[in-house]
Amino acid sequence: MQVIDPSTGEVKARYALMDERALEAALARSAAAFRAWRETSFAERARLLERVASSLRARADGLALRMATEMGKPLAQGRAEVEKCAWVCEHYAARAADYLASEPIDVGADRALVTYRPLGPVLAIMPWNFPFWQVFRQAAPALMAGDTVLLKHAENVPGCAEDLAALFADAGAPDGVLESLRIERARVARVIADARVRAVTLTGSARAGRAVAAQAGAALKKTVLELGGSDPYVVLADADLERAADACVASRLINAGQSCIAAKRFVVVRDVHDRFVELVVERMARARVGDPREPTTEVGPLAREDLRATLDDQVRRSIAAGAEVALGCEVPDGPGFFYPPSVLTAVTPGMAAFDEELFGPVAAVVEARDEAEAVVLANASPYGLGAAVFTRDPARGRRLAEHALEAGTVAVGAFVRSDPRLPFGGIGDSGYGRELGRHGIHELVNVKTIFVSVS
């Protein structure tokens, strides 16, 4: 594995892959650790996560710099990601015992209860775009449930994976509780098939999700899949346009647009379309693009050269199909994998900017005649991760969010974000299962029914 600085294109470090003997040792450690970890108390597990949270905050600057160097995240966003990781550790440390408390069920004269027991080693196949947060939102609930974690991180962030393992080791985690597997993609199927692995969780593309689901299904392993998204943000005629533009642009540009739940398609009713486009273009044009290690940078480079090439191809195909350029849409000269904040208008179904996920800082504006057509256009996607609606009428917004927009999470008057207290996940090509909150930890346990006859 090698680290390529996305702001310069230079190779910064190389890491050796695990050989088969090292991989087998890691799997054995995880299985052995599970047998002891499952018997620890919630209080003991919580103390570990609290120590990890403290260490995260103490190391925030260094971890943010690691992200900037390996995948291009601006330092301020990196520090915010680290803080969110500490939050999810503290959340589950405080709430897991309640989330997993046994539940008595009234079945008449006899007695019954539902209990929640750990499954075993969980394989977490994680992406590069939020290299700490994505891991912690799986690891924190899994560890508090009594599972152990096998981390297969993205191949372009090996230093982040090393830092994650060090955080747990330095916090006193027993050997094997969190194991980092430095293996290539081709060996993931071998790990999924291993009888010691009891569940698989993946954050990645729909293509990766299908492959992992097929492999896990063949081995009868539980899976949780958080995949891509093409989140529609519906802007109605009565919306506060300034506020809507602020939220839409903030969501579109976070992590240089490389987020599954970033705003992707701005579906705007005709009466306010032109003014909304003006506001979005103004805000996108003001965003400061540059070296992610500079404190004033708001938009860093894309993480890899191939990702930029894919984005540019999608933009080119959309323009050829009739989309219009309102801002940007040109690959800049110079080193690194930068792409400017860009706006496409006149986007319609059938174009790449509408049908595909644009993983970069390109906003696709879609015009709708009215609310009814806006909903149809918003839902005209194979994805269903997040969505948002902007209106001055909260009741109208809630009605559309609850009954009309098809997604795992819908925000009214704000942009979509994950929260440790709330379930998160999608439908359709955005995957299945839920992360975070009570629902997320329940994905990683054996929901066991106990029936006791007293007659």
Residue-wise DSSP of 139-198: HHHHHHHT-EEEEE--TT-HHHHHHHHHHHHHTTPPTTSEEE----GGGHHHHHHSTT--
Calpha distance 271→208 (Å, rounded): 40
Residue-wise DSSP of 392-441: S-HHHHHHIIIII--SSEEEESS-----TTS-B--EETTEES-BSHHHHH
Token pair recorded at residue 226: 């958080």
Calpha distance 142→256 (Å, rounded): 30
Distance (Å) of CA 332 to CA 145, 178, 297, 345? 48, 41, 17, 21
Q: Which amino acid is at 375?
A: V
Q: Which amino acid is at 415?
A: F
201 beta partners = 124, 224
CA dihedral (388, 391, 392, 395) in degrees, to 10, reads -80
Q: What is the largest CA-CA distance in the chain?
A: 81
| Active-site residue list | 226, 260
Calpha distance 344→323 (Å, rounded): 6
Calpha distance 313→62 (Å, rounded): 35
